[in-house]
Amino acid sequence: YKEGGRPLRIILIGYMGAGKTTVGKALSKELGIPFYDLDWYIESRMRRTVKQIFDEKGEDGFRKTEQALLHEVAEFENVIISCGGGTPCFFDNMDYMNRQAETVYLKAAPGVLYKHLLMGKSVRPLLLGKTPDEVGLFIREQLERREPFYAKAKHTLDVSLMDNYEKIQVTVGLLR
Ligand code: S3P
């Protein structure tokens, strides 16, 4: 799958719970190109869970590892990558991703993210030990700080009102 002879790279960005991994997987099937979830890639390369890395090296240590491994996956040709919610917001990661790939911001309203994160089963170190009210407030505040980074993506899709099927169809349409 090539676009004008250049390797096709798609990087999905957005807050935790926006559906980056789900959309990435489905997009990979649809386009027939490999999918990498940056968190999973980090876990397999480091032989540790994201939570263990946070516990052992702190957030700063995690961000360094995340950047180094982002630079590995984003050099692959013809890939779909979903990155972590924080990836675009550290170092020059967002500018780097824009140079390497078609970046797509899956934008969702705080209330939608809140619902997904409270219902979801994945462990999110940043949310551990918070009450539902605290999670709600944390999402709003963090989203506000992160939005300027996310807004640099080449494409933005408001997925607040979309189900997964729709997210996938619209993302494919966007890249045609
Ligand atoms: C993080 C999001 C997580 C993971 C880590 C930190 C963040 O990824 O990278 O827990 O800072 O928002 P998901 O967005 O896939 O949950």
CB 84 within 8 A of CB 38: yes
Q: What are phi and psi of 104, to 5 degrees?
A: -125, 120
pLDDT reported for residue 4: 60
pLDDT reported for residue 69: 98
Which tens digit of pLDDT belongs to each residue from 74-109? 999 999 999 999 999 999 999 999 999 999 999 999
Nearest CA to ligand 1 atom 8: 84
pLDDT reported for residue 134: 96
pLDDT reported for residue 71: 98
CB 78 within 8 A of CB 34: yes
Atom of ligand 1 nearest to the CA of 20: 15
pLDDT reported for residue 127: 95
Residue 32: C-alpha distances to residues 27, 78, 102 (Å): 8, 9, 17
Per the DSSP assignment, residues forming a β-bridge with 107 are: 158
Rounded to two decimals, what is the model's pTM?
Answer: 0.96
Atom of ligand 1 nearest to the CA of 89: 11
- Scanning 32-156, the segments in alpha helix (DSSP H) are 38-46, 50-73, 93-100, 110-119, 132-150
**Rounded distance between C-alpha atoms, residue 6 and residue 113, angstroms:** 34
A 10 A CB-CB count for 77 gives: 11
Q: Any residues with CB less than 8 A from the CB of 76 and at least 6 apart, and which?
A: 9, 34, 36
Q: What stretches in the chain show pLDDT beneath 50?
A: 1-2
ipTM associated with this complex: 0.98
Candidate of 11, 15, 16, 21 to mutate for ligand 1, largest count of ligand atoms within 8 Å of Cβ: 16
